[in-house]
Amino acid sequence: MAAVEDIVTEAPAVEAVPKRAMTLGTGTSLVMLGLLLVVPLFVKNFIIFQMTMLLIYGVAVLALNILTGGSGQFSLGQSAFYAVGAYTSAILMEQFNVNYALTLPIAGVICFGFGFLFGQPALRLSGVYLALATFALATAMPQLLKLGYFEKWTGGVQGLVVTKPDAPFGLPISQDMWIYYFTLVITIAIYIFSVNLLRSRSGRAFMAIRDNEIAAAAMGVDVALYKTLAFGVSAGITGIAGGLGAITVQFVAPDSYTITLAISLFLGMVVGGVGWLPGSIVGSAFIIFVPNIAEGISKGLSGAVFGVLLFLVIFLVPHGARQVAIVGQQLIGRFRKN
C-alpha cells in the first residue's frame, strides 16, 4: 500500500515534466508497433475486427485525452462528435459515392468546425458546468439525427448501411485486414500528431491553461483561443475516429451514438491515465473487453460485475495505466541498478 501512496503523491511531479510523461520510451513504442503490425497476420478475422475497434476507440479516447489531459476541460459530449464524423463518412460514401479514405479528412474538418464553434459558448463554463453542457450535446445528438429534415441523407431511425471497402491494388488480404492496417496507419499518424501538438507551443499553452488559467493569461497566452482550439482539435480527431468506426462497423444509426458511448470514452480516458497518451489504447481495451469479461462472469449481473471491476481499477490504480507503467519503469530501474 505504501508504494501505491508514494506514487500517488509522486504523480503531479511527473505531470510537470510533460515531455517524457506524455509518451513511451522508444524501445517500448517499437515493441508495441511491432505487435500491432504482426499480430493480425496470425489471428482470425473476428479478432482483427476487434483490434480495429480497439484502435478506433483508442483514437477517440486520445482525442478526449488532449482535451482533458492537455487543456483541462471536461467533455461528456464526445459521442456527439463521434456521431457527426460517422455520419459524415457514411453519407458521403453512400449518398455521394465519395471514396472512403477521402471522407475521413472531410469528417475531421467538419467536426473540427463543430467542436470549435461549440467551444465558444463553452468558454464561459468550467469544470462540472462544462461537463453538463457537453452532456446536453450528447443527449441531443441521437434525436437530431432522427429529425425528418435530414432523413433524406441520414436514413432517419433506420440508419445507413455502409459498404465495406475492398483492399486496393488487388492485394490478396481480407477486407478486415485491409481496414485494420488502414486504421493503424491513421492511428499512428494521429498519435504522432498529438504528441507533437502537446510538445509544441500550443501544447504548452494548453497545459498552462490547465494548470492555472490566470497565470497563463498573465503570461500572454490567449486563453479563449487555445481553449476553443483544444475543443476543435479534440472534436476533429474524434470525428475521424467516428468515420473509421462507420467504415468498420458498416452501419450508422442514431442509437449507436448515445450518451453511453460518451461515458465509455470518458471511462477509457480515466482508466488509461488522464494526460498520458499511450494510455488511450489501454483505456480503449478496457471499454471493449471488460464488458465482455463481465458478461462471461454473469449474464444477469454483467452491469454489476463491470461496476465492481471498474471500482477495483479506480481504487487500486487511481492514475490508471500510467501508474502501472510508472511502477514498471521503477522496477526495471531498480533491477538495472542492482
Partner 1 sequence: MRSEELCIAALATAIIAFTSGTALAQKKYDTGATDTEIKIGNIMPYSGPASAYGVIGKTEQAYFNKINAEGGINGRKINFVSYDDGYSPPKAVEQARKLVESDEVLLVFNPLGTPSNSAIQKYLNAKKVPQLFVATGATKWNDPKNFPWTMGWQPSYQSEAHIYAKYLMKEKPDGKIAILFQNDDFGKDYLKGLKDALGAKASMIAAEESYEATEPSVDNHIVRLKASGADVFISITTPKFAAQAIKKLAEIDWKPLHIVSNVSISVGGVIKPAGFENAQGMLSAAYAKDGADPQWDNDPGMKKLYAFLEKYYPDANRLDASVVYGYGAAQTMVKVLEMCGDNLTRDNVMKQAASLKDFVPDTLLPGIKINTSATDFAPIKQLQMMRFKGEKWDLFGDIISGELSE
Binding site residues, partner 1, CB under 8 A: 44-47, 49-50, 53, 143, 146, 148, 156-159, 161, 245, 249-251, 253, 255-256, 258, 260-261, 291, 295, 299-300, 302-303
Rounded to a whole number of angstroms, the minimum distance from the CB of residue 150 to partner 1 is: 13
Residue type, 38: V
Cell 465509455 found at:
264
Q: Alpha helices of the chain — where are they, by DSSP H?
A: 2-15, 18-21, 26-38, 45-65, 71, 78-95, 100-122, 128-146, 151-154, 175-199, 201-211, 213-218, 223-249, 259-272, 279-297, 302-316, 320-337
Of the pair 99, 298, the CB lying nearest partner 1 is at 298
Rounded to a whole number of angstroms, the minimum distance from the CB of residue 111 to partner 1 is: 18
Of the pair 155, 273, the CB lying nearest partner 1 is at 155
Of the pair 51, 209, the CB lying nearest partner 1 is at 51
Contact between 202 and 74 (Cβ < 8 Å)? no
Of the pair 21, 261, the CB lying nearest partner 1 is at 261
What's the first-to-final CA gap in the chain, in angstroms? 23
Rounded to a whole number of angstroms, the minimum distance from the CB of residue 86 to partner 1 is: 9
In angstroms, the CA 186 to CA 94 distance is: 22
Rounded to a whole number of angstroms, the minimum distance from the CB of residue 273 to partner 1 is: 25
HSE-CB of 247 using CA atoms within 13 angstroms: 31
Contact between 159 and 253 (Cβ < 8 Å)? yes
Q: What number of other Cβ atoms are within 10 A of residue 220's Cβ?
A: 8
In angstroms, the CA 108 to CA 201 distance is: 22
Rounded to a whole number of angstroms, the minimum distance from the CB of residue 218 to partner 1 is: 46
Rounded to a whole number of angstroms, the minimum distance from the CB of residue 256 to partner 1 is: 5
Any idea what DSSP says for residue 69?
I
Any idea what DSSP says for residue 160?
E
Task: Let me know how long the chain is.
Answer: 338
Which three-class secondary structure state does DSSP give residue 251? strand
Of the pair 113, 291, the CB lying nearest partner 1 is at 291
HSE-CB of 119 using CA atoms within 13 angstroms: 24
Rounded to a whole number of angstroms, the minimum distance from the CB of residue 166 to partner 1 is: 13
Rounded to a whole number of angstroms, the minimum distance from the CB of residue 257 to partner 1 is: 9
Of the pair 162, 207, the CB lying nearest partner 1 is at 162
Task: Determine the distance from the C-alpha atom of residue 190 to the mean position of all C-alpha atoms in its chain, rounded to a whole number.
Answer: 11
Rounded to a whole number of angstroms, the minimum distance from the CB of residue 207 to partner 1 is: 33
Of the pair 99, 158, the CB lying nearest partner 1 is at 158
Of the pair 27, 148, the CB lying nearest partner 1 is at 148
Nearest to 193 by CA among 66, 75, 78, 102: 66
Of the pair 119, 268, the CB lying nearest partner 1 is at 268
